[in-house]
Amino acid sequence: MISEKVIQELKEICGSKFVSSDKTDRILYSYDATRKQFLPDVVVHPADAQAVSRIMKLAHHHRIPVYPRGAGTGFTGGALPVHGGMVMGMSRMNRILTIDQENLVAVVEPGVVTGDFQKAVEALGLFYPPDPASLNVSSLGGNVAECAGGPRCVKYGVTKDYVIGLEVVTPSGDLMETGGTTMKGVVGYDLTKLFCGSEGTLAVITKIIVKLLPKPQAKKTMLVVFDAIDSAAKAVSAIIREKIIPATLEFMDGRTLDCLRQTAGLSLPKGAGAALIIEVDGDTEFLDKQAQRILNVIDSLGVLENRVANTFEESEEIWKIRRAVSPSLRKLQLEKFNEDICVPRSKLPEMIRRIEKISDHYNLPIVNFGHAGDGNIHVNIMADKSDAEQMAKADQAVEALFRATLELGGTMSGEHGVGIMKAPYLSLELSSQSIQYMKILKKALDPHNILNPGKIFPDDAHALPGEMK
């Protein structure tokens, strides 16, 4: 519980309108896209970095857990107040401070919505590539904290590849800058990269400096349908081996296509077992050639049909198919365990085969789609929520999936992070030395474990008594 005196101080810092310990507000900030719920004791919305610093000093003094929150769209529970305490919403800090066209750098506050920022830079002919599926709602602060990815990352890299500087508030309340606005910089440790993907456990991000690219002139989208998933996986390897990196290289397996057929009315050739959406971007005159090279390389690999978009509308038609995937899965009325494993690209065909084996072994449908170009697969293990046996099997299937992934040199999470959802499996992937090293770091920077406690490390996460069922 947080004393009335502390609440008063918080109100002085944020303005009373932006501090609430009312049950209604506590419920409103108790969940994220994991659908799990934990009630915080108080919700605050600071206006600026100074306020964040004062709040952290107060929290440090009183040992109050603090959970920074962007848009609450995470899939691993990064924003969940699992041990009670204070949710710190960053939505008021939502200004784009500068877009520097001479240096191709922008400075933003953490609450800026990623999609809004992309529109703002694209209006100036610039480009900020990271494109998580949630980009129309998720915030840049959350994207940095989780190191978000997206379809375009196969060519352009993930969030941390664009962050070159930060302003953060440490767990003890100090305001600190890392990196800067230069393209290079090797003075001291690279703290910027340390904070990227640290899931809000090491510092509260209050300002972000990102580098920008010139916006590609045009893009070309293709939908290629294959006879089998193996063919599609081979095609991905073939494209990469040919030294072509498309801007996006998305795949959908046979079961995904079945769902789309049933629920979204997609018409596909008979025997379709998988599909790839391939998009190339760059100068207009060079696009047709590149698209043709790709089609040549994969031609002999079980292609049943290919559709090349010639207009923006045709391209949108193709992307509509991809965007219909998640809604169509939900229509199956099953609980889905959405994992985002990532394997070396060359191991993709093998990984798909292993997933099929897991599906057979546990007798559970598994639907796969995702960013094939970088080996990042969204594996959806489907189970009937009302069937306890199936749900238990799904848990086992998840573990089997992680083990298979790691055997192939992959990682349990390409994009979503660990949070509370993957914490129990941490030691499958990381050595005890590596976990120990991270813990030492966490302890040194946050000795009282007040900043986003209960995340990443299994011993913090294994028992969370505050969960609302």
Partner 1 sequence: MKDLEQYREWSQACVKCGACRATCPVFKSEHREGAVARGKIALAQAMMDGQLFAEERLVHELSQCLLCGSCTHLCPNQVPTSEIVAAARREVARKNGLSGFGKGVAALLTHKKAMDWMSKGSDLASKLLCRQIPDTSGLRLRFPVPGIPEERTFPKPSFKPFLKRELRQTVSRSAGPRVLFFTGCGINYIYPEIGEYLVRILNFMEIHVTLPDEQVCCGLPALSAGAGEAVDTLAKRNLKALKIHAFDYVLTACASCYGALAGIYPTLGTDYAPFAEKTRDIMDFLMNMGLAARLEALPRSADRVKVTYHDPCHLRNHGLTRPPRQLLSALPQVDYVEMADAATCCGLGGTFSVHHYETSQEIGNQKAKHVAQSGAQIVATACPGCIIQLQDSLNRQKIPARAVHLLELVSQALPVK
Under the rule (CB under 8 A), what is the footprint of partner 1? 20, 22-25, 27-35, 37, 71-73, 89, 91-92, 94, 111, 115, 134, 136-138, 326-327, 330, 468
Contact criterion met (CB below 8 Å) for 382 and 365: yes
Would you say 43 and 11 are in contact if contact means Cβ atoms under 8 Å apart? Answer: no
Radius of gyration of the chain (CA): 23
Q: Which is nearer to partner 1, 117 or 226 (CB)?
A: 117
CB of 392 to partner 1, least distance (A): 21
Q: Cα 10 to the chain's mean position, in Å?
A: 31
In the complex, the smallest distance separating the C-beta of residue 351 from partner 1, rounded to whole angstroms, is 26
Copy the structure tokens of residue 27.
């419920």
| CB closer to partner 1, 45 vs 234 | 45
Q: What is the DSSP letter of 215?
A: P
Shortest spacing between CB 309 and partner 1, in angstroms: 23
Within 8 A by CB and 6+ apart from 256, the residues are: 325, 328, 329, 367, 368, 369
* Biggest CA-to-CA distance, the chain: 72
- 329 vs 398 by CB, closer to partner 1: 329
Alpha helices of 103-150 — where are they, by DSSP H?
Answer: 114-122, 140-146
Shortest spacing between CB 228 and partner 1, in angstroms: 28
Rounded to the nearest whole angstrom, what is the least distance from the CB of residue 266 to partner 1 in the complex?
A: 17
Q: Please, which residue, 71 or 140, has the CB nearer to partner 1?
A: 71
Give the other-Cβ count within 10 Å of 3's Cβ. 10
Return the ∠ at Cα 110 (arms to 105 and 111), rounded to 5°: 120
Tokens of 154: 């196969």
Residue 322 CB, shortest distance to partner 1, in Å, is 13
Residue type, 184: K
Burial class (CB in 10 A: 0-12, 13-18, 19+), 191: middle
Rank residues 71 and 318 by Cβ distance to partner 1 and give the closer one.
71
Minimal distance in Å, beta carbon 264 to partner 1? 12
- Whole-number minimum distance, CB 37 to partner 1, in Å? 8
Query: For residue 268, how many other CB atoms are within 10 A of its CB?
Result: 17
Which residue's CB is nearer to partner 1, number 5 or number 23? 23
Measured from the CB atom, is 202 or 421 closer to partner 1?
421
- Of 333 and 432, CB closest to partner 1: 333
Burial state string for 235-245 with b = 16 or more CB within 10 A and e = fewer than 16 = bbbbbbeeebe
| Per-residue CA distances from 12 to 54, 87, 99, 252 (Å) | 10, 17, 33, 52
Rounded to the nearest whole angstrom, what is the least distance from the CB of residue 124 to partner 1 in the complex? 18
Minimum distance from CB of 349 to partner 1 (Å)? Answer: 30
Q: Which is nearer to partner 1, 52 or 239 (CB)?
A: 52
CB nearer to partner 1: give 178 or 328. Answer: 328
- Spatial distance between the Cα atoms of 269 and 267, rounded to a whole number of angstroms: 7
CA-CA distance, 300 to 84, in Å (whole number)? 57
The amino acid that residue 87 corresponds to is: V
Percent of residues in the chain assigned helix, strand, coil, to nearest 5? 40, 25, 40
